[in-house]
């Protein structure tokens, strides 16, 4: 049998079910990899060793007694550190919550554990999910396994790095403006953002409530599909959770006859030549599978970054008001009055990027500016929804690059506007609540991964996963970074 970290999550689960490997052996192998690599990679903030060992021993006992085992039996799963695991610390990558022990489970996480996944650690992230590079973590930055001098993307950079380096085979991420798909593209793994409401947000620390969506990152499309079958259930604790039956994700190497893929060429004008060439190669793969390509008009997406950073910061300023040093997290000892405690706790607890976004969000919601910014952004968001509806009248899915380039070096982007533009191709799916998947599509001249994304209409999660699987099987760009293969 191959080394365990060379297997997909589905293959590792099957090996365990067939008795070829024990859960204890799996945990031992992956904890050893984490201990060996995480010091330089920075993918994990917390290692859940004792918890993983206990789960592994319980799974081996269940198997020996021929008891039923779950869909994710013995698969090591990493959890982004803004999702709760009861009894474990949830930091959100912030000093503010460095002492916060979660009293309950995030629904998505609990469902995976109920299906016998092994929760192996909590992953690094930009503070409160605010960033596109993982450089905003309050503890230490995560690095890209393909080149430690480069960022892994963000905010789910730790999850993407952990899966790419095979320190875990599946990880959870949260996607507010591309925070699953962009790091997946930078690290050469698969990242999936479901239809808004398909996966419960209960137990996810909120950034932008109308935009946030939990989703999986995996080594293959089949792995992410497995995670979605487990996570994608209605949750009565989340008012935005869709009251729909769970879905299965049958995958095929072929596209359905008559599949039409839309390309928004006008929106994509000015692409980096290297990214354009890679994207065109991906389109050729889709054509070879029988897809018909058409141009669609999504030029309005040029406003999506402006709309996103108004709406997301407005929601963030409201959501983060609860962090006051009284109810949650670190309390400053400098304050004498209640107001001073609020003020000092936030000054000491929040990082620079979080403060910046709170200030911007408070500004766009303030009297005299709400009409000029927030309400206007909501109107443009509606126009973006309509533009996608019209596009999907012509095609089954839309295809775009993930980012304007491959992963950039740490510290190379100092201009905040340039950093925000890293999300230009991913933000539209969040604004419209659409399912979207990032798939590896090759490598740039430096050998860094590049990715493409497929975006579908709302509730067409199964179809999007099927398009991605067919592309993946025909292109085969999934590799383990050289330093992590052995």
Note if 64 is an active site residue. Answer: no
CB atoms within 10 A of CB 114: 13
Residue found by looking up tokens 């979080």 in the block: 354
- How many Cβ atoms are within 10 Å of 272's Cβ, its own excluded? 16
Q: Which two tokens stand for residue 173?
A: 């991420």
The two structure tokens encoding residue 224: 């992410």
Cα torsion angle, 319, 320, 322, 328, sign: positive
Q: Check 133, 137, 155, 174 and give the catalytic one.
A: 155
Catalytic residue among 8, 133, 159, 179: 179
Side-chain half-sphere exposure of 151, counting CA atoms within 13 A: 29
β-pair partners for 89: 101
Cα separation values, 308 from 132, 241, 376, 380, 418, Å: 14, 22, 12, 10, 15
Tally Cβ neighbours within 10 Å of residue 327: 8
Judged by DSSP in three states, 356 sits in: helix
The label of the residue with tokens 């039409």 reads 260
Catalytic-residue membership of 155: yes
- The contacts of residue 219 (CB under 8 Å, 6+ apart) are 8, 9, 163, 166, 169, 189, 190, 478
* Cβ(155)–Cβ(111) below 8 Å: no
Task: Give the count of beta carbons closer than 10 Å to the beta carbon of residue 79.
Answer: 30
Q: Distance between CA 282 and CA 268 in Å, rounded?
A: 15
Question: Residue with structure tokens 């239809």?
Answer: 195
Tokens found for residue 385: 């929804």
User: What is the C-alpha separation between 73 and 59, in angstroms, rounded?
Assistant: 8
CA distance 467 to 439: 10
| Structure-token pair, residue 157 | 């950079």
Give the three-state DSSP class for 270.
coil
How far is residue 401's CA from residue 428's CA, in Å, rounded to a whole number? 12
DSSP states of 42-75 as a string?
Answer: --EEEE-HHHHHHHHHHHHHHHHTT----TTTT-
Residues 479 and 239: beta-carbon distance below 8 Å: no
In this structure, what token pair is assigned to residue 149? 């001098």
Which tokens sit at 213? 């969506």
CA distance 176 to 14: 33
Which residues participate in catalysis according to the annotation?
80, 155, 179
């Amino acid at each position: 049998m191959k080394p365990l970290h060379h297997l997909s999550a589905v293959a590792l689960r099957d090996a365990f079910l067939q008795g070829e490997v024990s859960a204890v052996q799996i945990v031992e192998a992956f904890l050893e990899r984490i201990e060996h690599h995480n010091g330089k990679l920075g993918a994990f903030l917390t290692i859940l060793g004792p918890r993983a060992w206990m789960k592994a021993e319980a799974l081996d006992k269940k198997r020996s007694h021929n008891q039923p085992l779950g869909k994710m039996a013995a698969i090591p799963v990493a959890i982004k550190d803004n999702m709760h695991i009861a009894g474990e610390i949830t930091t959100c990558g912030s000093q503010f919550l460095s002492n916060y022990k979660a009293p309950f489970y995030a629904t998505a996480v609990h469902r995976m554990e109920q299906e016998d996944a092994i929760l192996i650690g909590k992953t690094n992230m930009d503070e409160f999910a605010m960033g596109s590079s993982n450089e905003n973590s309050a503890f230490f930055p995560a690095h890209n396994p393909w080149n430690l001098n480069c960022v892994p993307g963000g905010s789910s950079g730790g999850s993407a790095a952990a899966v790419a380096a095979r320190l875990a085979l599946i990880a959870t991420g949260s996607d507010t403006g591309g925070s699953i798909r962009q790091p997946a593209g930078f690290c050469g793994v698969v990242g999936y953002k479901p239809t808004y409401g398909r996966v419960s947000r209960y137990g996810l620390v909120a950034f932008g409530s109308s935009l946030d969506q939990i989703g999986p990152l995996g080594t293959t499309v089949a792995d992410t599909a497995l995670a979605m079958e487990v996570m994608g259930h209605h949750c009565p604790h989340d008012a935005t959770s869709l009251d729909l039956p769970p879905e299965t994700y049958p995958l095929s190497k072929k596209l359905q006859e008559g599949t039409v893929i839309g390309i928004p060429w006008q929106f994509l004008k000015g692409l980096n030549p290297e990214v354009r060439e890679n994207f065109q190669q991906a389109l050729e793969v889709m054509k070879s599978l029988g897809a018909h390509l058409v141009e669609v008009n999504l030029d309005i997406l040029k406003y999506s970054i402006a709309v996103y950073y108004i709406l997301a910061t407005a929601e963030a300023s409201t959501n983060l008001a609860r962090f006051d040093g009284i109810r949650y997290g670190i309390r400053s000892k400098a304050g004498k009055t209640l107001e001073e405690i609020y003020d000092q706790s936030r000054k000491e607890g929040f990082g620079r990027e979080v403060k910046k976004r709170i200030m911007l969000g408070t500004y766009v919601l303030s009297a005299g500016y709400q009409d000029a910014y927030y309400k206007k952004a909501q109107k443009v968001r509606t126009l973006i929804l309509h533009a996608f509806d019209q596009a999907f009248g012509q095609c089954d899915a839309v295809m775009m690059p993930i980012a304007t380039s491959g992963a950039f070096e740490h510290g190379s982007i100092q201009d905040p506007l340039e950093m925000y533009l890293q999300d230009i191709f991913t933000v539209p799916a969040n604004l419209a609540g659409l399912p979207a998947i990032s798939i590896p599509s090759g490598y740039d001249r430096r050998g860094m991964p590049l990715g493409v994304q497929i975006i579908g209409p709302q509730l067409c999660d199964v179809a999007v996963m099927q398009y991605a699987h067919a592309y993946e099987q025909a292109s085969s760009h999934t590799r383990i970074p050289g330093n992590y293969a052995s």
